[in-house]
Structure 1
C-alpha cells in the first residue's frame, strides 16, 4: 500500500510539474506567435481591429518596408560587423588570458586573478569609463564597444578552470617535441577546449548582437548604430509621429516593428542549432570540472 501511495503522489507531482511547464511554455510562445502573425498584417488591421492574433489579410508590407529602408540595412551591416569582430576579440583575449593565468609558474598571477575578479564584483562606473574612452579618442568608434567589454570575468574564470583540467602530461609531451608556448596553446589546449570555446563564442555573440546601451553611450553617428538602437529609434519615431497626428508617416510602422523584432532575433535562431551540442557539453564540463 505504501508503494502505491508513493507512486500516486509521484504521479500527481509529475502532473503538476508538466502543467506548470506547459503554462510557462505558452506564456513564452504566445507573444512570439503574436509577433510572427502580426508582422504579416496590413495597416488597416491595426487601425480597425486593434488587438488581434490572426490577421484577416496577410501581407509582406512590413518586411518590404524594412528591406527597402536604408537605415535598417545599415543597422544590419553595423550589427554584423560589431558582432563578428567583437566576438573574435572577446574569445581571443579570454582564451589567451585564461591560458596564461592557468599556469602556476606565472609570476603575479594571484594579483591579476584578484584584479579580474574584483571587476566582476565592482564595476568602474559609467562616468569614469566614459571619460577614459573619451580621453583615448575612441568615442564614436566601434573600438569603444569592443575594448570596454573585451573580457567577461565570469567567462574567463570558467575557461581558466577548464584549462586547468587538461592533463599536464600533454603539455610536457609537446615541450619534449619542441613545441613553443604558442603551439602548445594552439595545437593542444584549443582543440581540447572546443566545447568551452563554442559555448562562450555563442555567449559573446549574443552579447554583441544585443548591444544597446553602450552603443547609445559611445556612438554619436546614427550611421554606426546597430540593430537594437535602430529598433529604439523606430519606437521613438512612431510615438512622435502618432503624437503629432501624422498617420501617413507611420503607414507601415506597426508591422515593420514586428518584422524588425523577428529579423533581429533571426541570426541567433540560426546560429544556436549549430552550436547546441557544444553548448550543452561545454556548460556541463565547466560546471563539473571547474
Structure 2
C-alpha cells in the first residue's frame, strides 16, 4: 500500500482516468444506439432530397407522410389486429402459464421433474417449421387469428420463470396452514398465491405483450388475408418488399411526389409501429428489471 500525499494523488488520478475512459466508451456506445432512432425520426418528416444533404438536422420539414399514414385503411387495420392479438393472446398466455407454473412448483406433484425436463427440452429442440405448419393446418387455424395465439400459448422460458418465483415466494408453511383451515388447492392459488405474486403477473403480462406486439413470423407463415395482418407484417411488407399501398399515394400525380411520399411513409410507419412501446417503456422499465431478476436471488 502506497502511503503519503503522492500515493493519494496517484490513486485519485487513476480513478479519474478510469472514469474518463468509462464515460468515453459509454458515450460512444450511446451515440451508436440512439442515432439510428434519431435518424428515423427526422427522416419521417424531412424531405428525402434534403435528407441526402443533411443526415443530422431536419430540413424542409414535410408531414405529408404522416398525413397519408393517418388516411390509410391498411395501417389502421394492422393497428387494430395487433391490439387484438396483444390483448387476447396475452390473456390466454397468462391464464395458461400461471396455473401450470404453480402446479409445477408444488413438491407434492408426482412427476414434476419429468414434466420440467420435457418443458426445458422444447427450449433447445423443436419439431421444425414444416411439422409445426402441418399441425396448425390440421387444426384448421391457417389464416385465422388463432394461428397468432395458440401455437405460442405458453412460453417455456416464462413458465420456468413463474415456477421459480412460486417456489421461492410461497413457503410450504403457508400452504400447510391454509390446508388446515380447509382451503382447497384452487382456492389457495386464486386467493393467496396470485395476490402475493402481483409482480410476477405484471412481468408475465409485459413479456407476453411485447412479444405479441413485435410478432410477425407467425403472421408471415400462417396468414393469407390482408385484413388479418398485424401492424408488424404491414411494416415488413413496406420495408422489405418495398411496397407502398396504392390507396396511400393514389392522389399524388407526379412520379417524383409518389417516390418522396413513399420514403416518408416508410420512416413514418417505423415510428408508428414503435411508438406504443417507446411511450410505455419508461413506465414499465421496473418490470423489465424485475423479470430479469426473478428467480436469480433467493429471498
Q: TM-score under structure 2 normalisation? A: 0.87
Which residues of 2 match residues 22-61 of structure 1 at below 5 A? 22-41=27-46, 45-47=47-49, 49-50=51-52, 52=54, 53-61=56-64
Runs of at least 5 residues in structure 1 that lack an aligned partner in the other structure: none
**Aligned match of 2:87 in 62, 80, 84?**
84
Q: Residue in 2 aligned with 1:112? A: 115
Q: Deviations over 1:67-86 (max 9, x none)?
A: 11000000000111111111
Report the CA distance between 1:269 and its aligned residue: 2.0
262, 283, 287: which one pairs with 2:292?
A: 283
1:190-241 superposed Cα distances (whole Å, 9 cap, x missing partner): 2222222212321111111111111100111111111111012213244899
Any runs of at least 4 consecutive aligned residues in structure 1 with deviations exceeding 6 A, and if so which?
Answer: none
Bigger radius of gyration, 1 or 2?
2
TM superposition shift of 1:276: 2.6
Residues 271 and 183 from structure 1, CA distance in 2 versus in 1: closer, same or farther, beyond 3 angstroms?
A: farther
Cα distance change, pair 5–83 in 1 and its aligned pair in 2 (3 A): same
Q: Which residue of 1 aligns with 2:171?
A: 167
Alignment match of 2:156 (pick from 144, 153, 157): 153
Which whole-Å deviations, capped at 9, do the CAs of 1:142-169 have from their partners, x for residues lacking one? 2122121112211111210110012122
How far residue 27 of structure 1 moved from its aligned partner, in angstroms, is: 0.9
| Partner of residue 266, structure 2 | 257
Asked if 2 retains the 8 angstrom alpha-carbon contact of 1:97 and 1:156, the reply is yes
How many residues align structurally?
Answer: 284
**Which structure 2 residues correspond to residues 203-218 of structure 1 after superposition, within 5 A?**
203-218=207-222
1:31-50 per-position Cα deviation (integer Å, ceiling 9, x unaligned): 11111112112xxx313552
Which region of structure 1 is more displaced relative to structure 2, 178-187 or 97-106? 178-187
Quote the Cα distance in structure 2 between the aligned partners of 1:68 and 1:239.
13
- For residue 51 of structure 1, report the CA deviation from its aligned partner: 5.1
- Cα distance change of structure 1 residues 51 and 147 upon mapping to structure 2, 3 Å threshold: farther
Q: Aligned-residue CA RMSD in angstroms?
A: 2.3
Contact 1:63 1:256 in 2 (8 A): yes
Equivalent residue for 2:236, pick from 232, 239, 246: 232
Mapped to 1, the partners of 2:284 and 2:188 lie a distance apart of: 25
* Counterpart check, 1:131 vs 2:134: yes
Equivalent residues of 1:79, 1:226 under 8 A apart: yes
Cα distance in 2 for partners of 1:71, 1:159 equals 38
Partner residue in 1 for 2:251 = none
User: Is the 1:38–1:54 Cα contact (8 Å) retained in structure 2?
Assistant: no
Corresponding residue for residue 192 of structure 1? 196
**Is the 2:78–2:231 contact (alpha carbons within 8 Å) kept by the matching residues of 1?**
yes
Do residues 271 (structure 1) and 275 (structure 2) align? no
The verdict on how the C-alpha distance between 1:143 and 1:249 changes in structure 2, with shifts beyond 3 A counting, is same
